[in-house]
Amino acid sequence: MIRVLSVLLVLALPLPALAQPSLVILVRHAERDTAPARDPVISVAGRARAEALRVALANAGIGSVVTTQYQRTRLTAGPLLDSLKLSPITVAAASPVSSHAESVAAAVRARPAGEVVLVVGHSNTIPAIIAALGGPRLPDLCDSEYSKLFLLEFSGPGAPRFVQASHGAPDAPDAGGCQRTMSR
């Protein structure tokens, strides 16, 4: 009887949260240049945005940075990586986007408990990664959206707290009339 009560008492205790980073910050790569066509670098405006990201996150306690294999994500993270003396974790962009998002989410979850992780992705991958990490479902970013910065704070069981902010220069109006809607 005592053994049964002991087991029931243990089962009634709250379970500790799974080991995971405490904060995940997600951004799209900075403004891209037109060359090289298959893997463009970032433009002058993109380099300014990458520097603004470094300044914005200089004291955020970043412990890991996740990028894709593309130059624009690595160059966006570059100033911050250099200042923190970190090397990026590369998760190859792949199709379908949902598989890539799950791979990035797994890489993030593999980081030590309490760590702050920066993810630099693409207009169509950042919303999918946010959802894969338990955040809200968002539409793909518009072509002209580079300033958005998304935060997922993990402080206990349940969905993470979601915050949207911005960094660097404001985005230019979208010439294509991109419509944004947010749903959970």
Which pLDDT score is estimated for 120?
A: 98
Contact 51, 175 (CB under 8 A): no
pLDDT of residue 149: 97
- Give me 20's structure tokens: 């995971």
Angle of helix 44-57 versus helix 71-84 axis, rounded to 10: 40
Domains of the chain are 20-166 (3.40.50.1240)
State how far Cα 173 lies from the chain centre: 23
Question: In this predicted structure, what is the pLDDT of residue 16?
Answer: 38
pLDDT under 70: residue ranges of the chain: 1-19, 175-177, 179-184
| CA atoms of 167 and 51, how far apart (whole Å) | 10
Neighbours of 26 (CB within 10 A): 25
Considering the entire predicted model, what is its pTM? 0.86
Residue 178: predicted pLDDT = 74
- Residue 3 has a pLDDT of 38
pLDDT tens string 102-143: 999 999 999 999 999 999 999 999 999 999 999 999 999 999
pLDDT of residue 132: 98
How far apart are alpha carbons 118 and 129 in whole angstroms?
12
Tokens 């792949």 map to which residue? 94
Distance CA 32, CA 170 (A): 16
What pLDDT is stored for residue 158 in this prediction?
86
